[in-house]
Amino acid sequence: MAKIGDIDVGEFPLLLAPMEDVSDPPFRALCKEQGADVVYTEFISSEGLIRDAAKSVMKLDIYEKERPVGIQIFGANLDSMLKSVEIVEASGPDIIDINFGCPVKKVVSKGAGAGILKDIDLMVSLTKAMVEHTKLPVTVKTRLGWDHDSIRIVEVAERLQDVGAKAISIHGRTRSQMYKGNADWRPIAEVKNNPRMHIPVFGNGDVDTPERAMEMRDAYGLDGAMIGRASIGYPWFFKEVKHYFETGKKLAPPTIEERVIAARRHLQMAIDWKGEKLGVFETRRHYTNYFKGIPHFKEYRTKMVTSDDVKDVFAVFDEVAATFSDFEFIS
Nearest Cα neighbor of 110 from 45, 178, 175 is: 45
Nearest Cα neighbor of 167 from 322, 13, 326 is: 13
**What Cα–Cα distance (Å) separates residue 1 from each residue in 6, 9, 15, 257?**
12, 7, 14, 36
Identify the bridge partners of residue 15 per DSSP, sorted by sequence position: 38, 226
Options 4, 102, 222, 271, the catalytic residue: 102
Q: Is the Cα torsion angle 294, 246, 16, 123 positive or negative in sign? A: negative
Nearest Cα neighbor of 284 from 299, 254, 251, 306 is: 306
Q: Containing H/E element for 16? A: strand 14-16
| 102 part of the active site | yes
* Contacts for 45 with CB less than 8 Å, ≥ 6 apart: 53, 56, 73, 74, 75
For residues 328 and 330, give the distance between their C-alpha atoms in angstroms, rounded to a whole number: 7
Q: Quote the DSSP letter at residue 20.
A: T
| φ and ψ of 277, to 5 deg | -60, -55
Cβ–Cβ < 8 Å for 127, 82: no
Nearest Cα neighbor of 313 from 273, 269, 281, 274 is: 281
The catalytic site residues sit at: 102
